Amino acid sequence: MNSFSRRAFLKRSSLAALTPALGNPVTGIASWLGQNGGPSVHFPDQPRERISVSSYPFRAFIAGQHDKSVAASKMLLKDFAAHVVEKFNIRKIEPWSEHFLSLEPGYLDEIRNAASKAGSFFADIAADGENSIYSTATAERERAMRFGRQWIDVAARLGSPSVRINIASAKNTKPDVMRAAEGLKPIAEYAAAKGIAVHLENDNPVSENPLFVVSVLDRVNSPWLHALPDFGNSLAALPAEEAYRGLDQMFAHAYAISHVKDATSTPASVVVPVDLARIFALAKKHNYKGIFSMEFESEGDPYAGTLKLITATIRNLS
């Protein structure tokens, strides 16, 4: 996900206010305890089966919580899994939090059941909140922790093995590894109790610099908290070699999910190409077995762009 457009979304509001945390999640999720006390997800081996499609690139076509009204022409999230199967022959999706119109159990069950009917699964849930886990304000940090627990519950209810939560920037406060780690430790403990892996992405160039994310992960040191390497985001904000070095370290901490892009854009609208072969080599170097989620972000048709990413991913994994 591109941090520049996402930050504009975060300025508006958070879905966290829509509903309280869910109750007991359904059983049968795709993650369970391994011998080391961490998650143990059985990832597929075949290249196509290692691919998911993010709902984020299709935000112009999917009803979101900030739409003034749900237009009849817009797709509902419950229909996205079947749509991805039809358009791309891919049976894993990664929904974005903006596309959840509710967090009520009945609504989530409807989404889960529709995906199951389509023969599809959830690779991850991408959740964006506006409160910072490293804020100097105790109340804001507590809201950020509550947000993380809430979306862990959502992932458990849907049967997703993981959730990606963001590290939002804090007003007039530099990113702080110690405070971020202190806030994320109880989130990781809650995730362990629910059997859900939590991921942190190199997204916001200020609060989610890849080296900062890695430092936070090292300090928390939980098998339930991992990195989500995004192929493009860091290249939009950092010199190329620094960005690739950051991705190298992100893949060393990755587990279940990563975001594939073949290009990204800087705040000045300069298009930066992504060296796909180089990044797939980093994934192989670190024995990454997880899912590659297609997150087309360039100008143009997201359907054609996503198909191009799928083709490139299968080629690099074969």
Write the DSSP assignment of 84-106 as a string of letters.
Answer: HHHHH---EEE-BGGG-S---HH
The region of weakest confidence among 16-25, 128-137, 161-170, 302-311 is 16-25
Distance CA 272, CA 263 (A): 6
Tell me, what DSSP letter sits at residue 170?
A: B
Task: Give per-residue pLDDT as tens, 175-233.
Answer: 999 999 999 999 999 999 999 999 999 999 999 999 999 999 999 999 999 999 999 99
| Closest to 225 (Cα-Cα) out of 313, 107, 133, 311 | 133
Report pTM: 0.91
Q: Which long-range contacts (CB under 8 A, 24 or more apart) does 306-315 make?
A: 306/53, 306/57, 306/88, 307/88, 308/262, 309/260, 309/261, 309/262, 310/48, 310/51, 310/88, 310/90, 312/260, 312/262, 312/276, 313/47, 313/50, 313/51, 313/260, 313/280, 314/47, 314/48, 314/51
290 vs 82: CA distance, rounded Å: 22
Output the CA torsion sign for 129, 246, 162, 56: positive
Our count of domains for the chain comes to 1
* Digit-coded pLDDT (tens) for 43-57: 999 999 999 999 999
Q: Is residue 32 part of a domain?
A: no
Q: Classify each residue of 242-272 as buried b or exposed e, where b means 16 or more C-beta atoms within 10 Å of its C-beta.
A: ebbbbbbbbbbbbbbbbbbbbbbbeeeeeeb
Range of the domain at 172: 3-20+41-317
* 26 lies in some domain: no
pLDDT of 306 > 50? The answer is yes
Tell me if 232 sits within 8 A of 297, measured CB to CB.
yes
Could you give the CA distance from residue 292 to residue 279 in angstroms, rounded to a whole number?
Answer: 12
Task: Report pLDDT for 66.
Answer: 82
28 within some domain: no
**36 is a domain residue:** no
Query: Residue 19's pLDDT is what?
Result: 47
Distance CA 204, CA 267 (A): 12
Q: Is residue 30 part of a domain?
A: no
Q: What is the C-alpha separation between 143 and 299, in angstroms, rounded?
A: 35
pLDDT at 35 over 80: no
Tens digit of pLDDT for each residue in 74-89?
999 999 999 999 999 9
CATH number at residue 13: 3.20.20.150
User: Strand pairing of 263-265 and 271-273?
Assistant: antiparallel
Q: Mean pLDDT across the chain, nearest whole number?
A: 91
User: Which residues are CB-neighbours of 220 under 8 A, at least 6 positions away?
Assistant: 181, 184, 185, 188
Residue 212 domain flag:
yes
CA atoms 233, 236, 240, 243: torsion sign: negative
